[in-house]
Structure 1
Amino acid sequence: MADITGSTLPLCRTCGTQYATPRPDCPVCLDERQYVGHDGQQWTSRAELRADGHHGRFEEQGPDVLGIGCTPEFAIGQRALLLRTASGNVLWDCVPYLDDEVIREVRELGGITAIAISHPHFYSAMVDWAHAFDAPVHLHEADRRWVGRPDPALHFWSGRTHQLTDELTLVNPGVHFPGSTVMHWNAGQGALFTGDVVNVCPDRRWVTIMYSYANHIPERPDAVRAAGELLAGYRFDRIYGAWWDRVVTAGGNEILARSVDRYLRFEQGLPAGSGS
Structure 2
Amino acid sequence: MTRVSSFVCVTCGVNTLADPSGKPQESCIICDEPRQYVRQGGQEWTTLEELKSSGKYTNVFTPTMADPEHLISISTTPSYAIGQRGILIKTPKGNILWDCITLIDDETVRKIKEEHGGLKAIVISHPHYYSSLKDWSEAFGGIPIYTHTNDKQWLQRPADNHIFWEGTSLDLLDGEVKVLCPGGHFDGSSLLLWNKNLLVADTMMVAASRKSVSFMYSFPNYWPLGPNEVQTIWKTVRPYEVNNILGAWIGKEIVGNGRNIIFNSARLYTQYSGHDSNKFYGSDSDELSFSK
State the 1:38 CA deviation.
0.6
* CA spacing shift, 1:19–1:144, aligned 2, 3 Å: same
User: Is there any run of 5+ residues in structure 2 with no aligned partner, and where?
Assistant: 19-23, 278-292
* CA distance in structure 1 between the aligned counterparts of 2:38 and 2:231, rounded to whole angstroms: 31
The superposition leaves residues 76-135 of structure 1 with CA deviations (integer Å, 9 ceiling, x where unpaired) of 000100000011010001100111111110111111101001100001001100110121
* CA distance in structure 1 between the aligned counterparts of 2:4 and 2:112, rounded to whole angstroms: 18
Amino acid corresponding to residue 144 of structure 2 in structure 1: P
Counterparts of 1:84-99 in structure 2, within 5 Å, are 84-99=90-105
Q: Give the equivalent residue in structure 1 for 2:53.
A: 51
Compute the TM-score of the two structures, normalised by the length of structure 2: 0.87
Q: Is the 8 A contact 1:7 1:47 kept in 2?
A: no
User: Is there any run of 5+ residues in structure 1 with no aligned partner, and where?
Assistant: 1-5, 272-276
Matching of residue 220 in structure 1 with residue 226 in structure 2: yes
Q: Is the 8 A contact 1:89 1:111 kept in 2?
A: yes
Q: Is the 8 A contact 2:227 2:275 kept in 1?
A: no
* CA distance in structure 1 between the aligned counterparts of 2:111 and 2:158, rounded to whole angstroms: 27
Amino acid corresponding to residue 15 of structure 1 in structure 2: C
2:245 is paired with a residue whose SS is strand
The superposition leaves residues 237-266 of structure 1 with CA deviations (integer Å, 9 ceiling, x where unpaired) of 001100011111111001101100001111
Q: Is the 8 A contact 1:198 1:208 kept in 2?
A: yes
1:233 is paired with a residue whose SS is coil
* CA distance in structure 2 between the aligned counterparts of 1:49 and 1:235, rounded to whole angstroms: 41
Counterparts of 1:104-253 in structure 2, within 5 Å, are 104-108=110-114, 109-134=116-141, 135-165=143-173, 166-185=175-194, 187=195, 190-253=196-259
State the 1:209 CA deviation.
0.8
Q: Give the equivalent residue in structure 2 for 1:60.
A: 63
The superposition leaves residues 31-76 of structure 1 with CA deviations (integer Å, 9 ceiling, x where unpaired) of 1000001110001122212233111111001421010011111000
Matching of residue 12 in structure 1 with residue 9 in structure 2: yes
State the 1:202 CA deviation.
1.4
* CA distance in structure 2 between the aligned counterparts of 1:36 and 1:81, rounded to whole angstroms: 27
1:28 is paired with a residue whose SS is coil
* CA distance in structure 1 between the aligned counterparts of 2:6 and 2:61, rounded to whole angstroms: 24
* CA distance in structure 1 between the aligned counterparts of 2:106 and 2:6, rounded to whole angstroms: 17
Counterparts of 1:257-268 in structure 2, within 5 Å, are 257-268=263-274
State the 1:150 CA deviation.
2.7
**Which of the two has higher C-alpha Rg?**
2
* CA distance in structure 2 between the aligned counterparts of 1:126 and 1:250, rounded to whole angstroms: 31
Once structures 1 and 2 are overlaid, which stretch shifts more, 255-264 or 47-56?
47-56
State the 1:7 CA deviation.
9.0
State the 1:152 CA deviation.
2.3
* CA distance in structure 2 between the aligned counterparts of 1:65 and 1:79, rounded to whole angstroms: 12
State the 1:269 CA deviation.
5.5
1:121 is paired with a residue whose SS is helix
Q: Give the equivalent residue in structure 2 for 1:3.
A: none
* CA distance in structure 2 between the aligned counterparts of 1:240 and 1:77, rounded to whole angstroms: 15
Amino acid corresponding to residue 253 of structure 1 in structure 2: R
Q: Given the alignment, which residue of 73, 87, 90 partners 2:79?
A: 73
2:15 is paired with a residue whose SS is coil
Overall identity of the aligned pairs, in %: 35
